[in-house]
Structure 1
Amino acid sequence: MDNRQLIMTAIDHIEDNLHQPLSVRSLSLFTGYSIYHFIRLFQGVTGLTPGDYIARRKITEAVRDILGKPCRSLLDISLDYSFRDYETFVRTFKRLLHTTPSRIRQKNNSELPLLLHRLCSHDLQQWTTQYTSPPQTVELGEIKLQGIQVTLNDDPSIINTAWRQLEGNMMSIPDRVLPEKFYQLGYWPDDYEDNRIVFLCGCELKDSIFTPISSPFLPNSSQSLLNMTIHTLPPASYLKFLHKGRSAEISATYKYIYGVFLPKTDHRLTLPYEFEFYGKDYLGPDNPLSISEIYIPISLL
């Protein structure tokens, strides 16, 4: 079963359990992915995050019941779809449909709001891209990184700010490899909520006496005395992709990875991170000739 089929299996599982509590974490466990890569792959294949798909499908079926079961109370319908309380039900309605359950029942809307019907295999995303370079499979040993950690919500400029902060504090990292090797590490934390992704903008460290503590996110992580986070990535096998062009355009390469390449494979991505490396061919974020490297972990060594 390739990854595209596996995402379809996850969708079937959602559809069979719309009346039950559903979490993104339980779905990632069901499919055998880390939550980080399950979210990325689900969105690459469907165009929606799994949390958004679950919410929109529950609300869509609730609308059917509001219109088709006039004797059933709005509170009971909200409980039918496992909303923890009526207020949450109403807030979700407003967020997704820009209306309320009572207005739907009263038919005060000039037209029925846009609903999400069950996705079938032929509905899944078919990205068109001219990306032609196949990835390499590489093995890397342990990598220690130190840098500025930020949580991204809706403002991507926070990443640029983190890089500037790192540049200003570079001389305060005595154990850094010289010449410097720069990385951008990304992952969703275990307490995933909405689309909050955590980034570490950092440089590679030499072997040192520093001993990280256990972390739920990566095998080892801690705060350093310099108020910069240190992460240790485990020895692992990776798929190495190249992004050619400006850093602002790298999302197209990620769309290829998660929307085109990985769905056709049977790789099970169980490690909760990925990273970009900026080596000798990286000529700066705005240079169209820059080449940055994207590493997707596929297994521990």
Structure 2
Amino acid sequence: MDDQLNAICRALDFIEQHLKEDIRVEDMAECCGYSLFYFIRLFNQTVHLTPYDYLIRRRLAEAARELIKTKRRLVDIALDYDFQNPETFARAFNRVFHTPPSQVRKSGVLDSRLIQRACGRNQLLYYRDYGTPKAQQCTHPQILLAGSPFDSDLTVEMVEQVVARLNPFYPEMREFIWISTYSSHSFDRQPAYFAGVELHDWTALPTNLYARRLPSGHYACFRQRDLLENLGHIRAYVYQSWQANTTETISSKIEIFRYSLSKNSPSTELILPLFNNNDSSF
């Protein structure tokens, strides 16, 4: 197993060293000492992307950074990263980032969660030790929440703050819902955070808490042990690998976490709205 992991790490390093060159999947397999068929299967099982798709996504990630941070012409950036022409580059860019490169150049805005970062050993070890969270698609009804805003992302330590804030109003609460809302104008800004418990009607809203509504719609739900401890790895898998292998598109504006406070088996579920939701909130 370690030999295989080391071989895939060599392939990943090879890709990083030759992002702007005309390399083939056969070249990656050769640097690992594997047959083409075996290498493709092993890479897909280990990285959860095909070698070619990973290569294209890494090229697009670096090209996107240049679009935002430099004034180089789009055609020069496209050719530099081995795309045949600007049209081919634009189609691939739009498929991955759901927006054309010309718009990213104009706005300087791109959802950083969609950028394929160089996959390292820690990400591969996470896949090996935990597996990947399985997605369950479902339709949720509208949910009314009573809660409070918070100023940092959900962590194990933040759970204690949420309980301390909400427990005086809901001493019997068994779970809470956490919402991270991203600005569509600047995805690199810190999201707005909110945690609350489910209400059955607005009249039950305590005076010192705020109301929030989650609209009904179609969602993808991801559950895994130690989800909060591995949230960075899970986000990388969901936004890059899972979305690349499904016909669904995640709405980029909001993330929802359902956190169970059960003492016997505390758990966290990541819930993401999909683009076929009809509500304009997404």
Distance 1:205 1:134, change over 3 A: same
Q: Which amino acid aligns with 2:190?
A: R
| TM-score normalised over the length of structure 1 | 0.49
Quote the Cα distance in structure 2 between the aligned partners of 1:191 and 1:158.
27
Q: CA deviation at 1:206?
A: 0.9
Match of residue 38, structure 1, among 111, 117, 120: 111
Q: Is this contact kept in 2: 1:151–1:198, CA < 8 A?
A: yes
Displacement of 1:135 in angstroms is 0.8
The amino acid across from 1:199 in the alignment is Y
Shift of residue 199 of structure 1? 1.8
The verdict on how the C-alpha distance between 1:156 and 1:278 changes in structure 2, with shifts beyond 3 A counting, is closer
Match of 1:294 in 2: 270
Supply the AA of the counterpart residue of 1:15: E
Alpha-carbon deviations, 1:148-207, whole Å to 9, x = none? 211227998556323311112326xxxxxx875521111224564754122212101113
- The correspondence of residues 1-301 of structure 1 with structure 2, limited to 5 A, is 8-9=59-60, 11-16=62-67, 18-19=70-71, 29-30=99-100, 38-42=111-115, 45-46=116-117, 124-125=118-119, 127-128=123-124, 129-130=127-128, 131-152=131-152, 157=157, 160-170=160-170, 181-190=175-184, 192=186, 194-208=188-202, 226-245=207-226, 247-270=228-251, 272-279=253-260, 283-284=262-263, 289-299=265-275, 300-301=277-278
SS at match of 1:254: helix
User: What is the distance in 2 between the residues matched to 1:277 and 1:225?
Assistant: 21
Q: For the residues of structure 1 that align with 2:215 and 2:154, how far apart are their CA atoms?
A: 30
**Deviation by residue 1:182-240 (Cα, 9 ceiling, x = unmatched):** 21111224564754122212101113369xxxxxxxxxxxxx77342322112111111
1:141 CA drift (Å): 1.6
CA contact (8 A) 1:277 1:294 kept: yes
- Sort the Cα spacing of 1:265 and 1:233 in 2 relative to 1 into closer, same or farther, 3 A: same
Percent identity between matched residues is 15
Give the RMSD, CA atoms, in angstroms: 4.2
- In 2, distance between residues paired with 1:41 and 1:293? 20
Equivalent-residue separation in structure 1 for 2:110 and 2:212 (angstroms): 19
Q: TM-score, normalised by structure 2?
A: 0.52
Alpha-carbon contact 1:150-1:159 (below 8 Å) kept: no
Cα separation, 1, equivalents of 2:227 and 2:98: 32
Contact 1:147 1:200 in 2 (8 A): yes
Partner residue in 2 for 1:63: none
1:294 and 1:36 mapped to 2: Cα distance?
A: 25
Given the superposition, is the C-alpha separation of residues 168 and 28 from structure 1 closer, same or farther in structure 2, using an over 3 Å criterion? farther
Which residues of structure 2 form unaligned runs of 5+? Answer: 1-49, 73-96
Number of equivalences: 190
Greater fraction of residues in helix: 2
Structure 1 36/283 Cα, relative in aligned 2: closer, same or farther at 3 Å? farther
Higher relative contact order (CA 8 A, sep 6+): 1
Name the CA distance, whole Å, in 2 between partners of 1:138 and 1:263: 19
